[in-house]
Amino acid sequence: MATWLDGTDFARYALIPEELLPAWEGTEADDVIDEYVSVFRLTGRDVLTLGAEPLSVTWLAEHLTFARWCYADDDTGLPSAVRTATESNDWKDVLSLELGGRYVLADVAYEADRILCSLRDAQQRPAEAFRVELPSGRYRVQSLTIDPDPNTQFMLDRLLPE
């Protein structure tokens, strides 16, 4: 089973470059958190945000994909559903951005101290943050909602190297 961020206050997330995390105040993404997927610049770096609905989120590193839980009994079928979805022509281009290095995915409203404490206590449940590592480069973000069966739906946001 994947690690899900689902114990957050607002369920709006930011992919924060780790080197910028110590100065994170939790208000940087206020202008973009109503968008499903958006990006803003902070100290010369792109920060990806996922928002608009209070949905739990996880990272599937093998597929460079964030999955947001709309409804499902569990997430056991998610990896195979994402694998199947990679071949779909229904992905929608959302935006392009520059990424690379170590990031932390956390609720946009959390301040640096809270995020850093969560990362130090990796056994904390529910998780409040987790790390994401990405090769440097330009990425296109594409979104797709999948329904692997009538009782399951996930929103996917994948990063495609350009």
Q: Would you state the pLDDT for residue 161?
A: 97
Q: Note the Cα 33 to chain centre separation in Å.
A: 13
103 beta partners: 17, 132
Q: In 72-144, where does DSSP find H-type helix? A: 78-85, 112-120
Q: Would you state the pLDDT for residue 51?
A: 84
pTM of the model: 0.93
Q: Would you state the pLDDT for residue 8?
A: 60
89 Cβ partners below 8 Å, 6+ apart? none
* pLDDT tens digits in sequence order for the chain, 162 residues long: 688 887 566 678 999 999 999 999 988 877 776 788 999 999 999 999 998 788 899 999 999 999 999 999 999 999 999 999 999 999 999 999 999 999 999 998 899 999 999 888 866 667 889 999 999 999 999 999 999 999 999 999 999 999
Contact (Cβ atoms closer than 8 angstroms) between residue 54 and residue 26: no
